[in-house]
């Protein structure tokens, strides 16, 4: 068992918990998930070169349109360079973002 499990359980104030199955990070690579608020799916990619795995899974959200490491990992995996941010730093209008996730103009 990973030493991270008791640490997370303590922070979440779980009184009891059970490990049902343990998997290695490589087994998670490539898994597809449903985006939490957009009508699209995503895939898990390991950020081996720039993600510290001693305090987590080694998997992180990446945004290829927002940062060099994210961009490089996105290019390596053929991901689109998506950056729905306008010149004011607000989410630009896109059909896939809910209205409540966009900035309000003052």
pTM over 0.75: no
What are the backbone dihedrals phi and psi of residue 101, each rounded to the nearest 5 degrees, phi first?
A: -100, 5
CB-side exposure of 38: number of CA atoms within 13 Å?
A: 11
Percent of the chain with pLDDT over 70: 84
Q: Which tens digits make up the pLDDT trace of 55-79?
A: 776 677 788 888 898 899 889 889 8
- How many angstroms from the chain centroid is the CA of residue 17? 24
Q: How confident is the model at residue 6 (pLDDT cuts 50, 70, 90)?
A: confident
Residue 75 and residue 70: Cα distance in Å, rounded?
Answer: 9
From residue 51, how far is each of 59, 71, 104 by CA, in Å? 7, 14, 33
Residue 17, burial from CB neighbour count under 10 angstroms (0-12, 13-18, 19+):
exposed
């Amino acid at each position: 068992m990973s030493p991270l499990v008791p640490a997370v359980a303590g922070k979440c104030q779980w009184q009891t918990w059970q490990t049902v199955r343990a998997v290695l990070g490589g087994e998670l690579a490539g898994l597809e998930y449903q985006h939490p608020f957009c009508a699209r799916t995503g895939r898990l990619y390991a950020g081996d070169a720039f993600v510290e795995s001693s305090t987590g899974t080694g998997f992180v959200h990446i945004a290829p349109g927002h940062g060099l490491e994210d961009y490089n990992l996105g290019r390596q995996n053929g991901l689109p360079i998506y950056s729905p941010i306008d010149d004011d730093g607000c989410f630009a209008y896109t059909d896939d973002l809910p209205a409540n996730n966009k900035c309000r103009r003052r």
